[in-house]
Amino acid sequence: MIQIKNPTELKLMLKAGELAAQALALAGKHAVPGISTWELDRIVNDFVVSKGGHSPCLGYGGFPGHNCFSVNEELIHGIPSKKKILKEGDILSCDIVAELNGFMGDNTKTFKVGKVSEEAERLMKATEEALYKGIEQAVAGNRIGDISNAIQTHIEANGYAIVKQFIGHGVGREMHEDPEVPNYGRPGRGPRLTPGMTIAIEPMVNSHFPEVRILGDKWTVVTTDGSLSCHFEHTVAITNGEPLILTLESH
């Protein structure tokens, strides 16, 4: 069932979204050659806790980290590790969820670690653009499929592949709520968008082929051919006007 948030709940989600965005920016600031993803996880979690929040990913389905850090061919759900040391030229997807006062903010950005290849630059640019193409369609009266199709159209026009096994979702008191928000599909299909809906829009994109597999750790999702992947995400509220991005560092 889709949870419609009232104005009070939306204000609380705005605060949670701000915290998640600030934590994400902090992760990006520290994503430099030589740091481990375990250390990044510690830095981010300490910040979230210092602001009165907590990181709900820890223990979610058995996940062993506070946040997900996925490097290069790792699409999503990378487990923080002292052995995973960032190096010049890597791209790092940081998926940060923060809970504050009972509500969630969920956002992701893929960061450059030092100077990266032109191929990585193009992939990141197209994926981030696709996120905003999807957000543009997140207006009352449209349907989920309008968001999905806008993302798919932009990604495929740039020659990249949409991953279909993993999708966006509703966000609120729970990290994952209805409705499902695929990154592919036909316009005019799916649930109608109404004011008070809050959703995570998150294109997940591979350089060449859409196929992915899960590693033996039962979490980390990687491209089957070892090529680069990319992930961007915002939590967005449907309003009576323009879409409201909840995961901004300040509003």
Only one residue has tokens 């009972």, namely 102
The whole-number average pLDDT for the span 194-204 is: 98
Dihedral sign, CA of 120, 125, 126, 127? positive
**Domains, the chain, ordered by start:** 7-245 (3.90.230.10)
- DSSP H helix total and E strand total for the chain: 4, 14
Cis peptide before 179 (omega within 30 of 0): yes
Convert the pLDDT of each residue in 48-57 to its tens digit: 999 999 999 9
Convert the pLDDT of each residue in 162-176 to its tens digit: 999 999 999 999 999
Spatial distance between the Cα atoms of 13 and 174, rounded to a whole number of angstroms: 11
Convert the pLDDT of each residue in 66-80 to its tens digit: 999 999 999 999 999
Q: How confident is the model at residue 249 (pLDDT cuts 50, 70, 90)?
A: very high
Q: Is the pLDDT of residue 234 over 90?
A: yes
What is the pairing mode between strands 91-100 and 221-223?
unpaired
- Residue 89 φ/ψ region, left for φ over 0, alpha for ψ in the -120 to 50 degree band, beta for the rest: left
Q: Is the pLDDT of residue 251 over 90?
A: no
